[in-house]
Structure 1
């Protein structure tokens, strides 16, 4: 497994190629980038009592309901460059804005007042003495030179003056919980095209014969040119690099950060999250099962066992299934098993069932196989992380602090002017790719 052909179409987008990898491992990396990397945001989910979790709306004279306003607050990007060390009780975010008499007052994220409660508690001083510059958490966009619009207050005075007052705290989470915590606005991959002329011609002839029912064509004929143009619009995208099994092994990634964490850090952190996820189950053949796992005899005619993983979905299920099939069924790894498959029984239940077939009928053999898969996948993520850090260098760490954002913008703009702008690779049809698993 290795990474190739790094490109930066713009200041927050990276494209690169991942080679010599199974499609499941590429898809697992994609899912971990989308749902496994931590960021900081305002939780604004509704509770059973009708309130919102971490956003308290004390006054709201806007046309929006409290729930809608809290939801807008929850989607604000908060610039915390090392979310793994974030302590949610250290900072208090307060928004208090009154409308103006003769003009519309736009309420923006720059209107937040941020207080460092940890320092205030240590010194015993007034909270006003420990305010943090708002731009540290809500810097202006380099594209608009402005911060996010939250609401608009209409003109008025006295009893008709509109106000907004909100108190919130920011917490750490991942995109698996809610999209507000996703560190990227895009993470996708496509099969790397095979541009070998002979292979393209072979696929064209096969397509023309099977789909268009054309047996022979004169290359100089108009019909041939029509078919060739049609083939090159979409069908040519089916011509991608394949290995000896006829499976794709090379993938072109596009990762676009929302602008808080750098793409090199995001990818590396996704590898670390994957390794930690697998390591948790690396010793289940020797120690007590984690609380989230339940083992029962397979609910089928297969001689084997069902492992119920609570708190997991397709990401872990497809990963373990692929590893077990490649190494313990098709390969020579021990213990040998006769079957490996997984399912998510219900889309609204956060659980996954991994079924392992063992001819011996021993639970210990099934546990040993799952533990071996966990250790193997953890080692794979470790290798992936090492390869990635060697590929991108020292940039596989959190983005620079927001206080230095302006200097970074100027440096990036200077770099962009001095280098030709690379066009992003177009997305292609993925006829054999399952988007969900």
Structure 2
């Protein structure tokens, strides 16, 4: 049963998006870009604005590589700037130059080198400097280089791989499994060995030495007589230049859903209301002899709007999203912890703001 809702004026908070059956209302900010400030003649106090911002940690995985957190009392452009910086401007180390000495596998040289470049490295990029020039120029014959350079300890990491496939003479008769028939039939990322250059060995222990994020990434498959031998030089870069430098597998945000029940919903209608939302969003509580619906966890809602398929429920359920409450989800590729990536992204944003401020001040003078 659904009690009839009292008639109310269509007035919504300025910080809430209103979700109807086929339209979304109140998506803009009235009079100013700063929500909740109706006086557009008032100067923005940056200190007061920053004091209102709240950051709440919600969930972090055991390996620290996945993080969910909330940022409250900011605007969409700031949230989106943080997301874009996480994707494209927080630096990492990645394999940039592959010196291929031997490749008799079925994978073409160019494809293999590109594949190696996408392997994520577990190394702190803050200990290295950006390259200042091209790794190696092209000579007059169009060849990249005549010999492998030594590498710069402050700008490079070197990984080497040398794997050859051979027959396993002790394989059981009748077996067809390549892993039993051959040695090194599959080449995994664990085959890469870090080669320290200069004084690099002093800065790392056995536990935190540079390596691939995972040992079980399949690089190639070989058969007897096939071999891969290469020396791989890593440099520091950002995702804006190439996706292999992007430090995150995903960085996204969504607005916090809001759900209000403008009337009491009980009995069969309460169970129906619970079924049209995601699991855990609507709960059912006892009130005397009745079972009534309550909003249990609006955060878990996927905003499917299935409730509008029921005419009686649509009249008493108000769906929306909080414009100033952003739920961030960050998944690191493994170079740094997800929380460290967020801090580094904030540092990049701060640097951009300082640079913009200097340019504006120079123009004003």
How high is the TM-score relative to the length of structure 2?
0.57
Is it true that 1:269 corresponds to 2:344 in the alignment?
A: yes
How far apart are residue 264 of structure 1 and its match? Answer: 1.5
Distance 1:137 1:62 in 2: 27
Is it true that 1:195 corresponds to 2:259 in the alignment?
A: yes
Show the 5 A alignment for 1:8-407.
Answer: 8-11=60-63, 12-43=65-96, 54-81=97-124, 83-87=125-129, 89-90=152-153, 91-102=157-168, 103-105=182-184, 106-119=186-199, 136-138=209-211, 141=214, 146-155=215-224, 161-198=225-262, 229=276, 234-235=304-305, 239-242=319-322, 248-287=323-362, 367-368=363-364
The residue that corresponds to 1:364 in the other structure is: none
Deviations 1:325-384 (A, max 9, x none): xxxxxxxxxxxxxxxxxxxxxxxxxxxxxxxxxxxxxxxxxx44xx9xxxxxxxxxxxxx
How far apart are residue 9 of structure 1 and its match? Answer: 4.8
Aligned-residue CA RMSD in angstroms?
3.6
Q: Give the SS at the match of 1:264.
A: helix
How far apart are residue 184 of structure 1 and its match? Answer: 1.3
Distance 1:110 1:184 in 2: 22
The change in CA–CA distance for 1:256 and 1:140 in structure 2 (over 3 A counts) is closer
Distance 1:67 1:77 in 2: 18
When structure 1 is superposed on structure 2, of 268-277 and 131-140 the one drifting more is 131-140
Distance 1:235 1:134 in 2: 50
CA contact (8 A) 2:213 2:335 kept: no
Higher normalized helix content (fraction of residues)? 1
Distance 2:275 2:205 in 1: 62
Distance 1:29 1:239 in 2: 27
Higher normalized strand content (fraction of residues)? 2
CA contact (8 A) 2:189 2:218 kept: yes
Q: Give the SS at the match of 2:339.
A: helix
Distance 2:61 2:259 in 1: 22
Deviations 1:291-344 (A, max 9, x none): xxxxxxxxxxxxxxxxxxxxxxxxxxxxxxxxxxxxxxxxxxxxxxxxxxxxxx
Q: Give the SS at the match of 1:37.
A: coil
How far apart are residue 137 of structure 1 and its match? Answer: 2.2
Q: Give the SS at the match of 1:276.
A: helix
- Relative contact order: is structure 1 or structure 2 higher (C-alpha 8 Å, sep ≥ 6)? 2
CA contact (8 A) 2:90 2:348 kept: yes
How far apart are residue 94 of structure 1 and its match? Answer: 1.9
In structure 2, runs of 5+ residues without a counterpart are 1-52, 130-150, 169-181, 279-300, 308-317
Deviations 1:255-309 (A, max 9, x none): 111223111210010010011122223222454xxxxxxxxxxxxxxxxxxxxxx
Deviations 1:61-112 (A, max 9, x none): 111111110011101111112x122156223322222221330512222222
The change in CA–CA distance for 1:239 and 1:114 in structure 2 (over 3 A counts) is same
CA contact (8 A) 2:213 2:334 kept: no
How many positions carry a matched residue from both structures?
238
Q: Give the SS at the match of 1:63.
A: coil
CA contact (8 A) 1:219 1:225 kept: no
Larger Rg, first or second structure (1 or 2): 2
Distance 1:8 1:134 in 2: 23
Distance 1:79 1:132 in 2: 14
